[in-house]
């Protein structure tokens, strides 16, 4: 009888320990799942934060409307005025955990670092030796299209900010403009992923999947202009208004005369060999 009672006590103790271990494991899994979920939103927030600051810097600058520097000096000075890296840390509760006092909490931290080694420049010859290629760059002075690259790191830390629960790095390519909205995400790639290769890649290497400026739909057979159409090219529209002369017989400039084919640059996000 005593042996049976002792066996039951041991069995109950083991079962209690197993239940506690299972509860702890479930709790850890819940926190890690919440961290993985939060890291995706934080990644987008980090890029948006950088874009908003860049927009403010460019909006307060006095851009010079010349092809020689519309895509160079103005952007460089605006980028240099931003924090490098741009960092933010915030305390956040686990997604879906509610607001109770016992809800798991963690700390979100991100760092956005510009990595451009050589920006594209309309004044440079197309054969400039950067490893990255833009299919078509709109060099009209009022557009001033360019590119820049970023490395974004997001970490989810425990509530004390010591242990890393999750981390992700991404490479970002921004397409830059001299007019609002000033920037747009043109490519996004996980930093641990290999560069695309093969016939489906835009160029070798095609970092971050930057296809902006590519002629995705090709050239229509009846197109009068020799410039490409379709895709994500930026076309310039001219409008004539009567003033010193009449618009009746005026011939508008070619809307794509300032496109540059195969502009080279170096985004700096090339992984080490």
Is the pLDDT at 71 greater than 60? The verdict is no
Residue 249: CA atoms inside 13 Å, Cβ hemisphere, count? 0
Question: 182 is written with which tokens?
Answer: 């000033």
DSSP classification of residue 120: -
What is the pTM (predicted TM-score) of this model? 0.76
pLDDT tens sequence across 13-53? 556 555 555 444 444 545 666 777 788 889 999 999 999 99
Assign 209 to helix, strand or coil: helix
Quote the CA–CA distance of 187 and 172 in Å, as a whole number.
Answer: 6
Question: 256 is written with which tokens?
Answer: 């794509």
Where helices occur in 105-203 by DSSP H, the ranges are none
Closest CA to 186 of 227, 141, 132, 258: 132
pLDDT tens sequence across 192-243? 766 655 555 444 445 566 767 775 444 444 444 555 666 777 888 888 887 7
Beta strands in the chain (DSSP E): 86-93, 105-114, 132-138, 146-158, 164-176, 183-190, 259-265
Q: Which residues pair with 187 in a beta bridge?
A: 173
pLDDT tens sequence across 186-195? 888 888 766 6
DSSP classification of residue 197: -
**Rounded to whole angstroms, what are the CA distances from 140 to 86, 148, 213, 258?**
30, 18, 14, 5
Mean residue pLDDT across the chain: 74
The region that residue 74 occupies, defined by phi over 0 for left and psi between -120 and 50 for alpha, beta otherwise, is alpha
């Amino acid at each position: 009888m005593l042996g049976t009672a002792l066996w039951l006590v041991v069995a109950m103790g083991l079962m209690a320990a197993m239940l506690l271990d299972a509860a702890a494991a479930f709790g850890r899994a819940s926190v890690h799942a919440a961290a993985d979920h939060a890291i995706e939103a934080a990644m987008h927030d980090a890029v948006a934060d950088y874009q908003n600051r860049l927009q403010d810097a460019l909006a307060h600058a006095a851009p010079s409307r010349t092809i020689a520097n519309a895509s160079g000096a103005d952007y460089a000075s605006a980028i240099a005025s931003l924090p490098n890296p741009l960092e933010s840390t915030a305390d956040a509760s686990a997604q879906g955990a509610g607001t109770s006092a016992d809800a798991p909490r963690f700390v979100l931290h991100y760092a956005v670092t510009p990595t451009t080694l050589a920006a594209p420049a309309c004044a440079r010859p197309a054969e400039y030796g950067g490893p990255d290629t833009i299919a078509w760059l709109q060099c009209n002075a009022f557009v001033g299209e360019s590119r820049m690259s970023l490395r974004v790191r997001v970490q989810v830390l425990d509530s004390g900010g010591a242990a890393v629960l999750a981390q992700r790095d991404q490479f970002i390519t921004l397409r830059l403009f001299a007019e609002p909205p000033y920037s747009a995400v043109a490519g996004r790639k996980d930093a641990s992923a290999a560069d695309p290769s093969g016939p489906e890649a835009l160029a070798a290497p095609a970092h971050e999947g930057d296809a902006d400026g590519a002629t995705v739909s090709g050239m229509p057979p009846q197109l009068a202009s020799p410039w490409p159409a379709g895709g994500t090219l930026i076309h310039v529209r001219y409008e004539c208004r009567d003033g010193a002369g009449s618009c009746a017989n005026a011939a508008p400039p070619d809307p794509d005369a300032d496109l540059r084919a195969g502009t080279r640059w170096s985004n700096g996000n090339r992984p080490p060999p």
